[in-house]
Structure 1
């Protein structure tokens, strides 16, 4: 049965149905990059929409159409860009830290374990981590 499993695995790999670890890591990196790009894009759009809606509502209330909407549109753009830059810098810092860990050999074995390790470290710093009584 082991020989059959090996032959099936080889056939799946040759057909392109089974990915190697390097291919899986590449796919994970691409997915993480796309996720970050979508996150930044959504932050910009949401800031623009929310601020424009606030400006429109204030214009309607005060009867100053379209001045407050235009002012809040530009404020929303500035806020969205500010959030995007901060998010990009945070993502870059996390990627740099992960590369440094990997070069030192301390990198987590799988993608996603990094967050689990960080949350475990945070909980032990708070004093509420897993404590065993002696």
Structure 2
């Protein structure tokens, strides 16, 4: 099953490839490969049809590039706010209440970096919870593992 994010990425990549191919064909139409004098006349006769076709392909490629770039911009910067809050911005060890922070650091014998690592791991394992919940979960797990 395709997800919208992967689909838009695929569409953007495909449109950029189409634009690159169209640009190459457009460039080749204005710089024909050198030919012998006998084939020069046949090249000039078919050049009108080829230029129109190449122009159509170039316009299509330009449209594809525009669509791809607008999809990339929408995906990266001008995105509408989602209903789901960004869990990385809302969850931080610094947002944990002072008593819980102290209890967690004490449980790890003063090793604050280890407390922050365990807190971060818990937030990755169970997304969508509050900062205090993660601190309580880490404390609970430590006590459980130590047999208290």
TM-score (norm 1): 0.34
If you compute each CA radius of gyration, which structure gives the higher value, 1 or 2?
2
- Higher RCO (C-alpha 8 Å, min separation 6): 2
